Chain A
C-alpha cells in the first residue's frame, strides 16, 4: 500500500469517518546533510551544509577554514622575498601563477621595470601553468561527474609539463621560480626544444579530450543547463575568470589591463553565452588552444637579454656570484635579513590566473616587510556564490559546482 504510485492513486475520504480511511500521510521535512569535509569531490577540506527537500538543494552554507594557515599574518613577519614560497602553497596546483601575481604586485609597489626577456619568460611559463591548471581542472571535473578516462589522458599530458617544470626550477609543484624583478633562471635550449615538441604534440590531444566528452550523453546531461548564473549576478558576486566569462561577460585582465608580454601577443578571449557548466567547460578548452598560441608567439618573438632587472638594492644577485663573490654574498644576506626598502603606499594588483583574478593588496609603511598584505583569492569569492548557484539543483550537482569553480582549498582558506 505504502509503495503505490502516489501520482495515480486517488484516495477518497469518507467525510463521516475520516480516521477510518487508511490515508497514507507522507511525512515531509527538510533534511540537513553535511557534505564534506572528507568528501572526495570537495577538492580538499571543504564542508557544505546542505538543506534538502527530497533531493533538491534548498539552501547551502559553505563552512570553510579547515586549511586556514594565516598566510596573510605570516606575510607581515617576513620580507617581500621571503613571501614568494608562501604563495606556492596558496593554489598548490598552479604555483607559478601565484608567484607571478605576487611578484607583479610587489613590482607595482616598487615601480620596478622587468627586462623584456624576463617578461617573455614569465608569460611562457604562466601559460604553461595555465595549461596544467586547465588539465587538472578537466580531469577533476570529469571525475566528479563520473567520467574516469579523461582523468588519465589529462594526467598523462600534465606529467610532461610537470617534468618540464622539474627541469626548469627543480620542483614540480612548489616552484618559486619567479623573483621580484625577473625570474630565477633562463630557459635552456633543451627546454625550449622540449616545449616546442609539446606544442606540436598537444593540440590534437585537446581534441581528444573533447571527443570523450562532447558527445557523451552523461556529460552533456550533467553540464548543460546546470548551475546557471546570469551575467548580472556573476558580476554582482564578483566572480572572475572562466566562471564569469561563461556568463557572457568579457572580462580578462590579460586583455584589458595588459601586463607582461600579453600585449605583444595575439589571442582571443572566449566568452560563453548560457552561463552554465558546459559553457565554462567550453571556455577552458578554448583557452588551452589560446595558451598554445601565446606560447608559440612568445617563443618566436623572444630575444636574448637579461632576465633580472638592474636594481641591485632590490633584486637578488645571481647564485653563482653569491658563492664566489663577497659583495654579492653580503648583498644576498642583507636582502634576506632586512629586505629592501619599499616606499610607503598602497597598491592593488590583479592578475588573470587560470581560476580568475588573483590579486594582492599591499600596504607598505616603508621598510622591508609589508605592513598588510591581503590576497584576493578567486576560489574564496566563488564560494560566496555557491548558495545562489546551487539552489534548486540536485545534490549530485553540488559536486559539479565545486568542479566548475575549479576550487582549491589552499587558496580559498589561505
Chain B
C-alpha cells in the first residue's frame, strides 16, 4: 500500500470509503461530511503538505444512488507528491463543502464545476456561472442527461433565409 494511503487510513477510522492506486495515481474517496476534515489534514499535516491545488473536476454517474462525484487533485511542492480526493453527492441534496478558504485557487475551479455539473459548494464566496451566460436556465451542460446538441435553443436563432435563385 502506498505510504500516503496508509497514513490516511490510520488517521481516519471512519469516513474514508475507498483508497486506490492505479497507474501511479493515488486516490482517496471520503464521505461528504468528512471532506473538509480530510482536506484540512492533507494541507496542514507535515507528512502530507499538499499546498498546491491542481484542479477540481466532477463526474456524473446517473445510475448510482449518489449521482455526482467531485474530484480534487492536489500536489505538494515541497514533497513532490500528488493525491486525488473524491467525494460523492446525491442529486437530491447537491451540496458539498467548498475548499476555497484552504486553497484560494479553488474559487474559479469550483465555480466551473457548479456551472457545468450543478453541484453547489457551501460557503463559496461567489458561486455564479462562469463559462455559460449568467441567465442560462437550461440546466447543466456536462450532466449526462443534457443532450450533446443542446436543448433546442439553437432552433430559436433567426437565421437569414437562403437567397432564392
User: Which residues of A pack against B, CB within 8 Å?
Assistant: 64-65, 68, 70, 72-74, 76-77, 108-109, 111, 233, 235-239, 249, 251, 256-257, 345-348, 350, 357, 359, 361, 363, 371-372, 374, 376, 380-381, 383-385, 388, 413-414
Interface residues of B in 55-100 (CB under 8 A from A): 55, 57-60, 71, 73, 77, 80, 82, 84
Known A-B contacts A73-B141, A77-B148; the reply to A111 vs B80 at CB < 8 A is no
A363, chain B: closest CB distance, angstroms: 5
User: Measured between alpha carbons, how far is A380 from B53 in the docked complex, in Å?
Assistant: 13
* Contact B130 A65, beta carbon cutoff 8 Å: yes
User: Measured between alpha carbons, how far is A108 from B82 in the docked complex, in Å?
Assistant: 15
* Contact B51 A380, beta carbon cutoff 8 Å: no
Does B23 belong to the interface (CB within 8 Å)? yes
A-B contact pairs, 30 of them (CB 8 A): A65-B130, A65-B131, A65-B132, A73-B146, A73-B148, A76-B148, A236-B51, A236-B103, A237-B104, A238-B53, A238-B105, A238-B106, A249-B77, A251-B52, A251-B77, A347-B22, A347-B23, A348-B25, A348-B84, A350-B54, A359-B55, A359-B73, A361-B71, A361-B73, A372-B59, A374-B55, A381-B109, A384-B105, A384-B107, A413-B131
Known A-B contacts A77-B148, A237-B104, A348-B73; the reply to A357 vs B54 at CB < 8 A is yes
Could you list 17 further interchain pairs (A-B, Cβ under 8 angstroms) beyond the known A236-B53, A372-B57, A374-B57? A64-B131, A68-B132, A72-B142, A109-B23, A111-B23, A236-B51, A236-B104, A238-B52, A251-B77, A345-B23, A348-B73, A348-B84, A357-B54, A372-B59, A381-B55, A384-B107, A414-B131
User: Measured between alpha carbons, how far is A134 from B59 in the docked complex, in Å?
Assistant: 35
* Contact A383 B103, beta carbon cutoff 8 Å: no
* Contact B104 A361, beta carbon cutoff 8 Å: no
Q: 4 smallest A-B Cβ distances: which pairs?
A: A238-B105, A384-B108, A65-B131, A376-B55
Does B133 belong to the interface (CB within 8 Å)? yes
Known A-B contacts A413-B131, A414-B131; the reply to A388 vs B27 at CB < 8 A is no
Chain B residues near A111: list those with CB within 8 A.
23
A347 in complex: contacting residue of B25, B59, B60, B146, CB < 8 Å: B25
B-side binding surface: helix, strand, loop or mixed?
mixed
Chain A residues near B107: list those with CB within 8 A.
384
User: Which residues of B pack against A, CB within 8 Å?
Assistant: 22-23, 25, 27, 51-55, 57-60, 71, 73, 77, 80, 82, 84, 103-109, 112, 116, 129-133, 141-142, 146, 148
Chain B residues near A238: list those with CB within 8 A.
52-55, 103, 105-106, 109
Chain A residues near B51: list those with CB within 8 A.
235-236
Chain A residues near B57: list those with CB within 8 A.
361, 372, 374
User: Measured between alpha carbons, how far is A233 from B103 in the docked complex, in Å?
Assistant: 9
B27 in complex: contacting residue of A68, A77, A346, CB < 8 Å: A346
B19, chain A: closest CB distance, angstroms: 13
Residue of chain B at shortest CB distance from A388: B104
Residue of chain B at shortest CB distance from A348: B73
Chain A residues near B55: list those with CB within 8 A.
238, 348, 359, 361, 374, 376, 381
Interface centre among B22, B27, B103, B106 (most CB of A within 10 A): B22
* Contact A64 B148, beta carbon cutoff 8 Å: no
B23 in complex: contacting residue of A70, A74, A108, A374, CB < 8 Å: A108
Chain A residues near B82: list those with CB within 8 A.
348
User: Measured between alpha carbons, how far is A237 from B55 in the docked complex, in Å?
Assistant: 11
User: Measured between alpha carbons, how far is A74 from B108 in the docked complex, in Å?
Assistant: 22
Chain B residues near A249: list those with CB within 8 A.
77
* Contact A384 B109, beta carbon cutoff 8 Å: yes
User: Measured between alpha carbons, how far is A236 from B107 in the docked complex, in Å?
Assistant: 11
A112, chain B: closest CB distance, angstroms: 11
User: Measured between alpha carbons, how far is A147 from B86 in the docked complex, in Å?
Assistant: 47
User: Measured between alpha carbons, how far is A72 from B35 in the docked complex, in Å?
Assistant: 26
B108 in complex: contacting residue of A257, A345, A371, A381, CB < 8 Å: A381
Known A-B contacts A77-B148, A236-B51; the reply to A380 vs B141 at CB < 8 A is no
Chain B residues near A371: list those with CB within 8 A.
59
Chain A residues near B142: list those with CB within 8 A.
72-73, 372
Residue of chain B at shortest CB distance from A251: B77
Known A-B contacts A65-B133, A73-B141, A236-B105; the reply to A346 vs B25 at CB < 8 A is yes
Chain A residues near B58: list those with CB within 8 A.
374
* Contact B23 A380, beta carbon cutoff 8 Å: no
User: Measured between alpha carbons, how far is A109 from B71 in the docked complex, in Å?
Assistant: 17
Residue of chain B at shortest CB distance from A372: B59
User: Measured between alpha carbons, how far is A168 from B104 in the docked complex, in Å?
Assistant: 42
Known A-B contacts A361-B73, A371-B59; the reply to A68 vs B131 at CB < 8 A is yes
* Contact A383 B84, beta carbon cutoff 8 Å: no
* Contact B104 A64, beta carbon cutoff 8 Å: no
User: Measured between alpha carbons, how far is A347 from B55 in the docked complex, in Å?
Assistant: 13
Chain A residues near B54: list those with CB within 8 A.
238, 348, 350, 357, 359, 376
User: Measured between alpha carbons, how far is A350 from B52 in the docked complex, in Å?
Assistant: 13
User: Measured between alpha carbons, how far is A108 from B25 in the docked complex, in Å?
Assistant: 10
B131, chain A: closest CB distance, angstroms: 4
Residue of chain B at shortest CB distance from A361: B57
B68, chain A: closest CB distance, angstroms: 11
Residue of chain B at shortest CB distance from A413: B131
